[in-house]
Chains A and B, each alone.
Chain A
């Protein structure tokens, strides 16, 4: 079945360590996104990518990095510079960049990765 796979579902890391969250999609979508979710704050955009080898900062990019070397993969690295990394991270994809509009505009989400830094 087509979809978005995030791994692992739960991740524990020591403070000061970098950690990479995986996101893979087999939907042949052009655009991919990373969101961070904290209780009572909704979802906040970290990074997004409209095409391979291109990505843009979202609203809270500090302390994070991404790459988009393949269409189906968009890994997120949480660096030691991120002051409050403990959160639920959601990856999403959309058929085309959202700015293109149209009836098929929507985002598909993975099941999330809960990162806990101790």
Chain B
């Protein structure tokens, strides 16, 4: 069963526009949730994570995400896109009592001048 679904393998926005990357998870127990960013031929860098506490999580580079249990979602947003945000973004979860990350298939963000 798919644990993480990222809607849209490619998203294109104009510089200065809102960035919204969608992530939904399937889990009967609220998991730990993560967003990672990957630049070409590079490893993954953690943008932000939700483990416990406040459901609105702020990360690096102006990104934030909100954990919505009722919608089983953890969408990533940024108010104003910058050219340097062009990269591939991965949503991931750790399910309770499982010793691994479940990664989504990734969303490539293109930022147009």
Chain A residues engaging chain B, CB cutoff 8 angstroms: 4, 6, 9, 31, 33, 35, 40-45, 48, 50, 56, 58, 88, 90, 92, 97-99, 101-103, 105-112, 114
Instruction: Pick the contact of A98: B42, B44, B101, B106 (CB < 8 A).
Output: B101
- Whether B104 lies near A42 (C-beta < 8 A) is yes
Instruction: Pick the contact of B51: A35, A48, A99, A102 (CB < 8 A).
Output: A102
- A3 smallest CB distance to B (angstroms): 10
- Whether A90 lies near B44 (C-beta < 8 A) is yes
Q: Determine chain B's interface SS by DSSP, over half rule.
A: loop
Report if B28 contacts A (CB, 8 A). no
Cα distance A45–B34 when bound, in Å?
A: 16
Chain B residues engaging chain A, CB cutoff 8 angstroms: 9, 32, 34, 36, 41-46, 49, 51-52, 90, 94, 97-101, 103-106
- Whether A42 lies near B90 (C-beta < 8 A) is yes
- Whether A112 lies near B42 (C-beta < 8 A) is yes
CB nearest neighbor in A for B32: A105
Given contacts A103-B51, A105-B32, A98 and B100 within 8 Å (CB-CB): yes
Cα distance A90–B38 when bound, in Å?
A: 12
Given contacts A43-B90, A48-B100, A90 and B51 within 8 Å (CB-CB): no
Given contacts A43-B90, A90-B43, A109-B43, A33 and B100 within 8 Å (CB-CB): yes
- Whether B43 lies near A45 (C-beta < 8 A) is no
